[in-house]
Structure 1
């Protein structure tokens, strides 16, 4: 009998405890500020040399990474085109009326069984 009372009490109080815990967590998160003494100063219009240099370096880094991103994208486009050509050639080789044509997966070419020469050029 005592265990049922305890389990009922626990079942009723546990959700309330979680709710109170979540509420207190949110209050603490909203109470934090970066203002010293209640006075907030946001970055105004400072035209000093340090901020100009930081902006220049940031722009330079952005331009350098942009060229790297473009090279990566171009490489991916070329690889996808090569893969598409290979799939198309594979399908053409398998659908070929020539009985001696077979697809060699290692070299990704359509070869003649008798001669070993490439049959379908890309």
Structure 2
């Protein structure tokens, strides 16, 4: 039994290498079936009237949706600018030297503690 174990341990790497080579050879030959000159290209690269028509329809749809995309982008920019202005106003209110000023998060305004009137923090 010891002799069999030593033979297996000696020849195992060679057997594994041969097994991998025999396994990969058919896979590599299937990856490029056009090795010789007998390859036939069907459809001339994929250009036909149907692909051109679908491409034209896709362009029309893309152009038709351009206005909608622009409106959505403008709305997102407007919301971002409002959010950015609110953050800037809050920072200005909190850094204000007026001790009676505080930031009201619900109304997003800088108010006076005593009167409740808006303060312009600058």
The answer to whether the superposition gives a TM-score over 0.5 is: yes
Alignment check: 8 A CA contact 1:93 1:102 kept = yes
TM-score (normalised: structure 2):
0.59
The alpha-carbon distance between structure 1 residues 96 and 54, as it changes in their structure 2 partners (threshold 3 A), is: same
Deviations 1:14-35 (A, max 9, x none): xx67xx39x83962772478xx
C-alpha distance in 2 between matches for 1:81 and 1:62: 28
Shift of 1:110: 0.9
Distance in 1, matches of 2:99 and 2:82, equals 26
Cα RMSD after superposing both structures: 3.6
- Radius of gyration: which is bigger? 2
- SS of equivalent residue, structure 2 residue 103: strand
- Is 1:71 aligned with 2:71? yes
Query: Aligned residues, how many?
Result: 103
Listed as ranges, the gaps of 5+ residues in structure 1 are none
Gaps of 5+ in 2: none
